[in-house]
Structure 1
Amino acid sequence: MKSEITMPVLSDTMQTGRLTRWNKAVGEAVKQGEAIAEVETDKAILDVEAFASGYLAGPLAAVDTDIPVRQAIGYIVDTREAAQNNPSSPPSATAKNSGEVAEPAATAPVPPAPASETRPDRAVTAPPAKASSAESSAEHMDSAPPAPTVSRSAAATDNAQTSPYARALARDLELDIQSIKPGPDGIIHAAQVLAAALAPKDADLHMGPPYSIERPKMLRAAVARNMSATLDTPTFHISSRFAMTPLHAAAKQAGIGLTLALSRACALTVAEDPWFNHTWTQAGLAKRSRVDIGVAVDTGEGLITPVLRNAAGRPLNELAEDWRILLGKVKNGRIAPEDYRGASFYLSNLGVFPEIVRFNAIVPVGAAAILAIAAAGPDGLTDFTLSCDHRVIFGADAARFLQRLGSRLENIFWLN
């Protein structure tokens, strides 16, 4: 019996995963629940567990490739002999019917990447075209900039299968079918064509300096998608300046970090004004029953927002332990979707950069507000800027919020 190991769906927005490591080789025994591979999602590196006991069999998907969810990346068989009789790497995929399909075809393992594609942080260089002579090749090099490099995982669809309707639609919309990224099943459908037609146009780089296209880290790509999703949020900004000295002293005395103290202050202030715990949906206003605070953390590759659950209703020592665990997960790249999704209010603190006197943050989808905290100025005051979804929060609501927050930062009796 031969059973598929598929790319797991680890979040509701995940379309592909990047296979980073195989923990087992073909022919090795695996146990049910054992971590047999590692996958990089848009936020973390997570384990792929064996669904049954047996032996790992090929073809195995290549490491450092982006693979659609639910696509086979390897197999588990009953005997070692059966595992060793299977190829250890997948065959090259070929399109059927000259690249057109009427129905979605069965997915196949991702073919191994060439040597130039095995590093996720390197550009993938397309092979140069053959010149008819050495003279014509030299003339081409003198008269034109180098050809841009293309990441296969992002755009190359030379061998992608395309439905006849999608091909006709692309022709009607005057789109190059080769520039359209396939869907999660590896096939270009009408939905992918329409998405390409409606997507913002890329900058024309051909008249500028020579360039190459690098495959972004999955976290950076996720940040870009999330920020694009906020374009329809009608946002306004309102600012106040508060002294942070009392909070600094109280946090130090309590043995906690300033970020946790600020999170607690925000959570208690949100709890006093339920509008800040609402979010706008197509069905109406969603009112949350507790305050979950998402705190922006810089990973070096992008921002991630670990969430302190029930930050207004739980003891401070519990929150401090949760925050310690969350930061450890972020540092080790092991943070899971349930650790960073679903906050009802957000906090972004750039106070560690003394040059930042004020900044505006973008309201994440699923929240009504985010608070941006800058560095203290020469007068000892710190700028607090609140970005609000105007569909949920009005100017007077935001002014009262900052008024209550400022009072809380002066009177620290609540920090316990």
Structure 2
Amino acid sequence: MKHEITMPVLSDTMQTGRLTRWNKAVGEAVKKGDALAEVETDKAILDVEAFQDGYLAGPLAPVDTDIPVRSAIAWLVDSKEELDASTDAQDAAPAVPQAPVAPPKPQQAAERTAPAPKTPAQQSVQKENPPPTVPSHSSPLPASPTLADGARASPYARGLAQELGIDLRSLGSGPIDSRAVLAAALRGPLPDLTAGPSYQMERLPGMRAAAARNMQDAVYTPTFQITARLPLAALQARAKASKQSLTLALARACALTVAEDPWFNHLWTPQGLAKRERVDVAIAVDTGDALLTPVLRDAARRPVKELAEDWRILLGKIKRGRLAPEDYRGGTFYLSNLGVFDVVHNFDAIVPLGAAAILAIAATQADGNSEFTLSCDHRVIFGADAARFLQRLRDRVADPSWLDS
């Protein structure tokens, strides 16, 4: 039996995956769990595993191609005989281009278009039921929006884009549906590239594209910022003495503070506020090519040593490009630390969807203080709530005796 191998769906927002490598060739025997191929998602490069024993059969989807989720990328067959039959069928049915049709000679055309004489009865029927009007080849048909690189859009999306004046090429490689067109219309006008110098379009890597979409979506969150100068020298010294990462120590301090003020672990929804049962801290990590947010689960209640081991594993996955969706989704509080850049005295961060607050930490200054800027969803958190949060956090980082627990 021939079994379809499809592009997996690895996140709620994933519409396409980029096939980066085949680990197996057509005809190779595979075992259940073998990594057949590598796929680049919006956050990482993941393996496509064989779901049973068998033989890899073609045709294989081409490498370095964006493929819609759930589309076939290859096949598995149960036996060598089926593999041979599948290969023979592919070889026996090559693609044969259709021969061009020669234009008719003038005399033939005249003979073909000359109408036959009609009887009076036929003329009467024709008057009552006139034939449908066929547009002449001399007048061009209205062109529907086209996409570069063979990208796909639904007919309704094409019509909607034409009506709203949206260039479908600006929406990526597809598949594009009406929701993407409406979202583009709500985002407002795009920059006019014809007004500047010549340019070349570059494909946005999947991870950067995902970050861009997330930031665009987060714009609709009504936020405010509040900044405080906190003493960071004691926490830095304690983390160094304990051989712990300062970022991990800050994440633990935030988690303990959130646990004391559950408003910061709520999430606004149209149905009401969702109160989460644990504090999962997502930490922004810069890889040079992407912005990732690995999550430390239950960061307020688990021992620091356990969190440190989780953090080591997460950083290792990021280094290998193997961060899985369960590693970066579902943060309830976010932390962005740019303290390693001594030129950064303060900055604001955007509250991601799925959280009510994010804390931005700048570099420590000569006096041992650092500016902490808390961005909050104003539908959940008020100014006084944010001020009290920063007060408690100040007391916690000034006396970091909790770091060893």
**What is the TM-score of this pair, normalised by structure 2?**
0.81
Q: Secondary structure of 1:3's partner?
A: strand
Partner residue in 2 for 1:321: 309
- Give the structure 2 partner of residue 59 of structure 1: 59
* Separation in structure 1 between the aligned mates of residue 94 and residue 49 of structure 2, nearest angstrom: 24
2:112 counterpart residue number: none
1:28 corresponds to: 28
2:148 corresponds in structure 1 to 156
Runs of 4+ aligned structure 1 residues displaced above 2 Å come to: 82-88, 157-163, 165-184, 188-202
> Are the equivalent residues in 2 in contact too, given 1:157–1:181 (CA < 8 A)?
no
Q: Distance in 2 between matches of 1:290 and 1:159?
A: 42
Secondary structure at the residue paired with 1:229? helix
Q: Deviations over 1:302-342 (max 9, x none)?
A: 21011110111011110110000000001110010110111
Distance 1:206 1:48, change over 3 A: same
| Pair 1:42–1:415, CA change in 2 (3 A) | same
Which residue of structure 2 lines up, in the alignment, with residue 74 of structure 1?
74
Letter of the 1:408 counterpart = R
Cα distance between partner residues in 2 of 1:314 and 1:394:
29
Cα separation, 2, equivalents of 1:30 and 1:238: 56
Partner of 2:326: 338
Q: Distance in 1 between matches of 2:224 and 2:205?
A: 31
* Alignment CA distance shift 1:174-1:277 (3 Å): closer
TM-score, reference length from structure 1: 0.79
Partner of 1:39: 39
Q: 1:219 aligns with which of 207, 228, 249?
A: 207
Alpha-carbon shift at residue 35 of structure 1 (Å) = 1.0
Partners of 1:22 and 1:36 within 8 A in 2: yes
- Aligned residue type for 1:156: A
Give the letter aligned to residue 72 of structure 1: A
Equivalent residue number for residue 285 of structure 2: 297
RMSD over equivalenced CA pairs, Å = 2.4
Distance 1:328 1:160, change over 3 A: closer
Match of 1:248 in 2: 236
Could you say which residue in structure 2 is the equivalent of 1:105? none
| 8 A Cα contact 2:17 2:39, kept in partner | yes
The corresponding residue for 1:115 is: none
Partner residue of 2:394?
Answer: 406
What is aligned with 2:223? 235
* Aligned-partner Cα distance in 2 for 1:280–1:324: 32
* CA deviation profile, 1:157-194 (whole Å, cap 9, x unmatched): 6674753x55544444455667666754xxx6544544
Letter in 1 for 2:85: A
Segment drifting more, 209-218 vs 26-35:
26-35
Contact kept in structure 1, 2:282 and 2:335, CA below 8 Å: yes
State yes or no: 1:363 paired with 2:351: yes
TM-superposition CA deviations, 1:392-413 (whole Å, max 9, x none) = 0000000000000001111122
Q: State how far apart, in whole Å, the 1-side matches of 2:86 and 2:299 are.
A: 50
Shift of 1:207: 2.5
Taking the aligned partners of 2:15 and 2:370, their CA distance within structure 1 comes to: 41
Residues of 2 paired with 1:376 and 1:179: CA distance? 42
* Same amino acid, percent of matched pairs: 65
Give the direction of change, closer, same or farther, for the CA distance of 1:235–1:173 in structure 2 (3 Å limit): closer
The answer as to whether partners of 2:263 and 2:380 remain within 8 angstroms in 1 is yes
Instruction: Give, in angstroms, the shift of residue 87 of structure 1.
Output: 4.3
Q: Counterpart of 1:206 in 2: which secondary structure?
A: helix
SS of equivalent residue, structure 1 residue 415 = helix
CA, structure 1 residues 159+22, in 2 after alignment: closer, same or farther (shift >3 Å)?
closer
- Please list the CA deviations of residues 100-144 of structure 1 after superposition, one character each: whole Å capped at 9, or x if unmatched: xxxxxxxxxxxxxxxxxxxxxxxxxxxxxxxxxxxxxxxxxxxxx
Distance 2:226 2:153 in 1: 51
Question: Residue 87 of structure 2 aligns with which residue?
Answer: 84
Distance between the aligned counterparts of 1:388 and 1:369, measured in 2? 4
Question: Judging changes above 3 Å, is the alpha-carbon distance between structure 1 residues 192 and 390 closer, same or farther for their aligned structure 2 residues?
Answer: closer
Q: Counterparts of 1:58 and 1:16 in 2: how far apart (Å)?
A: 20
**Structure 2: 5+ residue stretches without partners:** 98-145
Local SS of the residue matching 2:248: helix
Deviation at 1:279, TM superposition (A): 0.9
